[in-house]
């Protein structure tokens, strides 16, 4: 199977980091490619960043559908930007890393906490917990108060702040597991788990494994109801290229 990992921001080094972390966990026979939008924010740390990046996510799915042969997509940002719109554009499963991580956390613990980067993105994570129906499983969303790009530019200091916040979550929140709330934390879950002594779920790896499972089970994105392909219609201005999309015919699997 071929899974396409989409980094919704435009930082190529972060795309490479998440791709490398996921490749190490991919099942034999899984081809994992990665892409990112041509334009958009270098990191996603606000509602505005998410709104802009959602268009880039849709563009990357459309590119994948034009290429053909992609069996599933992973949206590799913890805000899951553009997730439902992306699902409208393909029959392939499209998995967001936050939703995937929340699901897996509930399979290994009755309560978990989220450790993310900034306090304002923690609020966005709280919105997702409500939207996805996981709010009663999550005891607290915690922020290490580090900008996303510091995960690359100052990795040692950032890692220590993440560890410290995870330890506080373990000691104060009455939880059994921790969810890492940023795609830039890909590859850190096992090391952090050893440090804090709890199961640690990281979204890129969780989404990869759920995508592999859905493809192996032959379960596509439903095209009955609101996730059906968008109705063709005229678009204007910079979005004119989306006019009269005919995905239902071109994306049959």
pLDDT in tens, 129-157: 999 999 999 999 999 999 888 888 888 89
Domain range 98-204, CATH architecture: 3-Layer(aba) Sandwich (3.40)
Tens-digit pLDDT string for the chain (253 aa): 999 999 999 999 999 999 999 999 999 999 999 999 999 999 999 999 999 999 999 999 999 999 999 999 999 999 999 999 999 999 999 999 999 999 999 999 999 999 999 999 999 999 999 999 999 999 999 999 998 888 888 888 999 999 999 999 999 999 999 999 999 999 999 999 999 999 999 999 999 999 999 999 999 999 999 999 999 999 999 999 999 887 875 444 4
Given the structure tokens 């979005």, which residue do they identify? 239
Q: Does the model's pTM come out above 0.85?
A: yes
Residue 85's Cβ-count burial label (10 Å; 0-12, 13-18, 19+) is: middle
The H helix count followed by the E strand count for the chain is: 10, 8
Q: Quick one: tokens of 43? A: 């990191």
CA separation for the pair 70, 45 (Å, rounded): 29
Q: Which residues of 7-37 are buried (b: 16+ CB within 10 A; e: fewer)?
A: bbbbbeebbebbbebbeebbeeebebebbbb
Domain range 2-96+206-250, CATH architecture: 3-Layer(aba) Sandwich (3.40)
The answer to whether 182 and 116 are in contact (CB under 8 A) is: yes
Per CATH, 2-96+206-250 and 98-204 having the same topology is answered yes
- Distance from the Cα of residue 150 to its chain's centroid: 19
For the chain, the structural domain boundaries read 2-96+206-250, 98-204
């Amino acid at each position: 199977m071929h899974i396409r990992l989409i980094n919704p921001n435009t930082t190529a080094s972060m795309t490479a980091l998440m791709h490398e972390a996921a490749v190490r966990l991919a099942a034999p026979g899984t081809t994992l490619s990665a892409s990112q939008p041509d334009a958009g924010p270098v990191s996603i740390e606000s509602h505005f960043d998410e709104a802009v990046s959602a268009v880039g996510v849709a563009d990357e799915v459309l590119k994948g559908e034009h290429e053909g042969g992609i069996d599933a997509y992973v949206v590799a940002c913890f805000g899951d930007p553009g997730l439902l719109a992306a699902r409208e554009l393909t029959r392939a499963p499209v998995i967001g890393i936050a939703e995937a991580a929340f699901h897996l956390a509930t399979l290994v613990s009755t309560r978990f906490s989220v450790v993310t980067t900034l306090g304002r993105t923690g609020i966005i994570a709280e919105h997702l917990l409500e939207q996805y129906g996981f709010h009663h499983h999550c005891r607290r969303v915690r922020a290490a108060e580090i900008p996303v790009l510091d995960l690359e530019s100052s990795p040692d200091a950032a890692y220590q702040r993440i560890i410290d916040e995870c330890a506080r979550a373990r000691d104060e929140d009455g939880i059994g597991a921790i969810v890492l709330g940023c795609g830039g934390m890909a590859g850190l879950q096992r090391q952090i788990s050893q440090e804090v002594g709890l199961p640690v779920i990281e979204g890129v790896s969780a989404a990869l494994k759920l995508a592999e499972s859905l493809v192996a089970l032959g379960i596509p994105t439903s095209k009955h109801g609101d996730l059906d392909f968008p109705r063709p219609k005229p678009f204007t201005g910079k979005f004119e290229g989306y006019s009269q999309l005919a995905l239902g015919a071109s994306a049959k699997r």
